[in-house]
């Protein structure tokens, strides 16, 4: 049952040093958030209050704002208000996601400006049940079924072990003023439908349903923690972390069961089971983009790097020839590559010269080889790993003709010969 002692214990479990912390409470005016604010006041904790007026329910929205504002004014608590307007572009669909994003963006902004340690919300056990059912319908895995975390990303939720009825009883017993959100009675959102139609039927099956559900969530969290530890152990065996990318040993990865494969790739944004099936069947060179990460299939590895935009003009480096008709590209390329020294017939190339990454369809005429070859085929024949390929620069002239693949091979069409009247030297020499 919710009382001062149990609340203090609950808060203490998720923030041992709570007496020395500064909090930002998300207070809507409903019973749960008003009880939360009252308990923080009684416990003499250092906190401020944030409220969002979405203006979705006319005067009711304004009355919600007033009760929160009056509480803060009466108790000399700093009050932060965000009023939603046309500039926030309310969508036709996914209103709840839109509202949540607005809400947390506002909270994070205040947290940064006010040097707040933790954001605190009044989510309770009934919210846990609703979230569990929603995630169950999405096949969200053990992480989703573990419910709303009590402490995550500097956000605390000390009411997760308490039911809505316990919070109501505490409010009545202590004469805490609050407002009812009548829109919660409507079944226009999935969460409301679960709250009003599904949850009551579940409660009828067992008078201790919520209490038992709370225990189940606790067990699921313990299971999740155990699984995450085991997944981390597996990751250490099959994933190598380089400077700006990850390499997954393909053979060891595919020897894992489907669950482990899903849990590993999910961390990089690949959480669609069908897409993971495609990844497992994909040929070398195939790429998958999760939005946050780019996954590139290589012969023996899966390579993950932060997703970036396609090649832009900013990735083109213009080169300047010195008085001795030389260009030492060590001034322009900082990564470690092998030394080389190429000579070109000045009359055959158009200036200025430049460096750029490979593009789709690029080809050149490799010196000491017959015919032309696509750069992608050249990389494959040279057995250059896919991620290494993306760091290789092409030397080009003003016509965008490829003069060479640095540092591997220059193009024979532009190479200097005994008949060349003037020679341009392009080299890299480590000092």
If DSSP states are collapsed to H, E and C, what string results for the chain? Answer: CCCHHHHHHHHHHHCCCHHHCEEEEECCCCHHHHHHHHHHHHCCCEEEEEEEECCCCCHHHHHHHHHHHHHHHHHCCCEEEEECCHHHCCCCCCHHHHHHHHHHHHHHHHHHHHCCCEEECCCCHHHHHHHHHHHHHCCCHHHHHCCCCCEECCEECCCCCCCHHHHHHHHHHCCCCCCCCHHHHCCCCHHHHHHHHHHHHHHHHCCCHHHHHHHHHHHHHHHHHHHHHHHHHHHHHHEEECCCEEEEEHHHHHCCCHHHHHHHHHCCCCCCHHHHHHHHHCCCCCEEECCCEEEEECCCEEEEEECCCCCCHHHCEECCCCCCCEEEHHHCCCCCCCCEEEEEEHHHCCCCCEEECCCCCCEECECCCCCCEEHHHHHHHCCCCHHHHCCCCEEECCCCCEEEECCCEEEHHHECCCCCCCEEEEEECCC
Q: Are 425 and 395 in contact (CB under 8 A)?
A: no
User: pLDDT per residue over 243-264, tens digit each?
Assistant: 778 899 999 999 999 989 988 9
Greater confidence, 173 or 318? 173
Cis bond upstream, residue 139 (ω within 30): no
Please, what is the average pLDDT of the chain?
A: 89
Q: What is the pLDDT of residue 430?
A: 63
Q: What is the pLDDT of residue 328?
A: 85
Torsion, Cα of 306, 308, 310, 313 (10° steps): -120
User: pLDDT per residue over 344-367, tens digit each?
Assistant: 999 999 988 999 988 888 999 999
Q: What is the pLDDT of residue 310?
A: 46
Distance of CA 170 to the CA centre of its chain: 38
Q: What pTM does this model have?
A: 0.68
Q: What is the pLDDT of residue 181?
A: 78
- Per-residue pLDDT, averaged over 369-397, amounts to 89
Least reliable range by pLDDT among 141-155, 157-171, 224-238, 403-417? 141-155
- Per-residue pLDDT, averaged over 406-410, amounts to 94
Q: What is the pLDDT of residue 313?
A: 44
Instruction: Measure the CA–CA gap between 203 and 125, rounded to whole angstroms.
Output: 13
User: pLDDT per residue over 176-220, tens digit each?
Assistant: 999 987 777 788 788 899 999 999 999 999 999 999 999 999 999
User: pLDDT per residue over 97-110, tens digit each?
Assistant: 888 999 999 999 99
Q: What is the pLDDT of residue 83?
A: 94
Q: What is the pLDDT of residue 122?
A: 96
């Amino acid at each position: 049952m919710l009382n001062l002692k149990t609340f203090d214990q609950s808060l203490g479990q998720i923030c041992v040093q709570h007496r020395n912390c500064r909090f930002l409470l998300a207070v809507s005016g409903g019973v749960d958030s008003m009880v939360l604010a009252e308990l923080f006041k009684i416990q003499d904790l250092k906190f401020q209050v944030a409220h969002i007026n979405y203006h979705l329910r006319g005067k009711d929205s304004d009355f919600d704002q007033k009760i929160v504002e009056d509480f803060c004014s009466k108790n000399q608590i700093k009050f932060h208000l965000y009023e939603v307007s046309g500039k926030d572009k309310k969508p036709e669909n996914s209103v709840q996601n839109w509202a949540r994003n607005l809400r947390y963006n506002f909270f994070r902004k205040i947290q940064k400006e006010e040097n707040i340690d933790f954001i605190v919300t009044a989510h309770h056990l009934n919210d846990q049940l609703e979230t569990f059912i929603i995630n169950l319908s999405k096949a969200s895995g053990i992480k989703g079924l573990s419910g709303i975390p009590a402490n995550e990303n500097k956000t605390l939720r000390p009411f997760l072990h308490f039911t809505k009825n316990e919070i109501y009883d505490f409010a009545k017993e202590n004469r805490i003023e609050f407002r009812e959100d009548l829109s919660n009675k409507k079944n226009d959102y999935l969460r409301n439908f679960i709250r009003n139609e599904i949850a009551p039927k579940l409660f009828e099956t067992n008078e201790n349903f919520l209490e038992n559900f709370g225990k189940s969530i606790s067990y699921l969290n313990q299971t999740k923690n155990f699984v995450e530890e085991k997944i981390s152990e597996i990751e250490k065996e099959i994933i190598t972390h380089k400077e700006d990318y990850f390499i997954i040993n393909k053979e060891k990865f595919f020897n894992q069961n489907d669950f482990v494969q899903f849990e590993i790739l999910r961390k990089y944004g690949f959480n669609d089971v069908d897409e993971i099936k495609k990844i497992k069947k994909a040929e070398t060179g195939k790429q998958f983009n999760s939005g946050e990460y780019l996954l590139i299939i290589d012969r023996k590895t899966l390579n993950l790097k932060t997703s970036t935009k396609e090649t832009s003009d900013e990735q083109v480096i213009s080169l300047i020839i010195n008085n001795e008709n030389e260009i030492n590209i060590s001034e322009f390329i900082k990564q470690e590559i092998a030394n080389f020294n190429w000579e070109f017939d000045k009359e055959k190339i158009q200036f200025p010269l430049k460096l750029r990454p490979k593009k789709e369809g690029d080809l050149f005429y490799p010196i000491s080889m017959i015919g032309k070859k696509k750069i992608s085929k050249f990389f494959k024949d040279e057995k250059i790993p896919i991620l290494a390929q993306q760091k290789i620069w092409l030397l080009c002239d003003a016509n965008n003709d490829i003069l060479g693949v640095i540092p591997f091979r220059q193009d024979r069409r532009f190479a200097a010969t005994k008949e060349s009247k003037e020679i341009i030297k392009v080299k890299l020499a480590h000092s």
